[in-house]
Amino acid sequence: PLPSRTTATTRIQKSSNFGYITSCYKAVNSKDDLPYCLRRIHGFRLVNTKCMVLVDMWKKIQHSNIVTLREVFTTKAFAEPSLVFAYDFHAGGETMMSRHFNDPNADAYFTKRKWGQHDGPLPRQHAGLLPESLIWAYIVQLSSALRTIHTAGLACRVMDPTKILITGKTRLRVNCVGVFDVLTFDNSQNNNPLALMAQYQQADLISLGKVVLALACNSLAGIQRENLQKAMELVTINYSSDLKNLILYLLTDQNRMRSVNDIMPMIGARFYTQLDAAQMRNDVIEEDLAKEVQNGRLFRLLAKLGTINERPEFQKDPTWSETGDRYLLKLFRDHLFHQVTEAGAPWIDLSHIISCLNKLDAGVPEK
């Protein structure tokens, strides 16, 4: 099982999101030898298999900000009926909750003050609050994930800090997609499993607004109903009007059906900032990859040299004796690795090694 961030003495409790006891495991698939994350729903009996229509739709979604659902199956391997969701495994990932909402002092601004006490100092950017550029980076990624999900006719339903994974510095992935579609599948939906998706999609936008507001306040207490006005005042003072308007649009009940595309004008040119950052990161990764390609080429040369040189078990075999080409390779090996300083001490000269190996690979007629 993957270790949780709770203490070992904590009793197993039902998930506040799914209403069932859940566990996570890292497992290796015997077919492709790749690691996957298995989320087990304890004690769940799958009564209606027609919900698998939605699972098949989720399997088809491939997006850079969504943890891909690979398979859903039932099992009794845990001594009780369980439902297991298999997702791609992302090593080193942590939830948005643990990254940004793990400080117990962050809620101090919103906690009710006692008689005779005054409000604490107003949080500011870079002094208790997140930088606005980071919040917009998260908004672009989360809205992009929602756009893909809604376009496919589905709803996220897990837009929550405990279900958003962060890998690296700012890379987000929405986790646990498709779980609610199976757990809350209603038999009355037999004819049309997608009947309530429009309603769930509207709820996704409200959930996105709550996540953005919580990030702007750097506190989950800010999204509580009694603190909304205070939270919006904090956003107004510290952040741009675009961020404030985006939060208000997502959280305010509209008289019409809304779409995630409606917030694109509010994101505006900030989208290009994220695009530039992604392309610059891609350039860095490609440069590192090119270096590893060269390293792999040189390693294959060394592997061949090491396989041929110094084979005493073949001394009596004329084809393996060190008198022909193999003797030249032995001399080359000594020339490659047995460098010495002017004082005669052994010396590691990496530039000499790499230069000679490249000349050997290219067939340079140098003597």
Q: Tell whether the model's pLDDT for residue 215 goes beyond 90.
A: yes
Q: Tell whether the model's pLDDT for residue 136 goes beyond 90.
A: yes
The answer to whether domain 291-362 has CATH 2.40.30.10 is: no
Query: What pLDDT does 133 receive?
Result: 94
> With bands split at pLDDT 50, 70 and 90, how would you rate the model's confidence at 166?
very high
d(CA 65, CA 146): 9
Q: Tell whether the model's pLDDT for residue 6 goes beyond 90.
A: no
| 206 vs 109, residue with greater confidence | 206
d(CA 235, CA 229): 10
> With bands split at pLDDT 50, 70 and 90, how would you rate the model's confidence at 1?
confident
The terminus-to-terminus CA distance of the chain in angstroms comes to 59
Whole-model pTM: value is 0.84
Query: What pLDDT does 112 receive?
Result: 56
pLDDT tens digit sequence for 170-203:
999 999 999 999 998 876 665 677 888 999 999 9
d(CA 197, CA 181): 10
d(CA 359, CA 108): 66
Q: How far is CA 213 from CA 103, 161, 206, 235, in A?
A: 17, 12, 11, 8
Radius of gyration of the chain (CA): 29
Strands (DSSP E) along the chain, which ranges? 22-28, 35-42, 69-75, 82-88, 94-95, 124-125, 128-129, 164-167, 171-174
Q: Tell whether the model's pLDDT for residue 8 goes beyond 60.
A: no
Beta carbons of 174 and 159 less than 8 angstroms apart: yes
Query: What pLDDT does 3 receive?
Result: 66
Domain ranges of the chain: 22-268, 291-362
pLDDT tens digit sequence for 292-345:
999 999 999 999 998 888 877 777 777 676 677 788 888 899 999 999 999 989
Q: Is 291 helix (H, G, I), strand (E, B) or coil?
A: helix
Q: The domain at 22-268 falls in which architecture?
A: Orthogonal Bundle (1.10)
Task: Fill in the amino acid letter for 94.
Answer: E
Q: Which two tokens stand for residue 157?
A: 């339903």
CB-based contacts of 14: which residues, under 8 Å, 6+ apart? 20, 21
d(CA 66, CA 145): 6
> With bands split at pLDDT 50, 70 and 90, how would you rate the model's confidence at 31?
very high
d(CA 196, CA 305): 66
Query: What pLDDT does 7 receive?
Result: 39
Query: What pLDDT does 188 receive?
Result: 66
Q: Which two tokens stand for residue 233?
A: 């005042």
Query: Which range, of 66-75, 81-90, 315-324, averages the lowest pLDDT?
Result: 315-324
d(CA 153, CA 198): 8
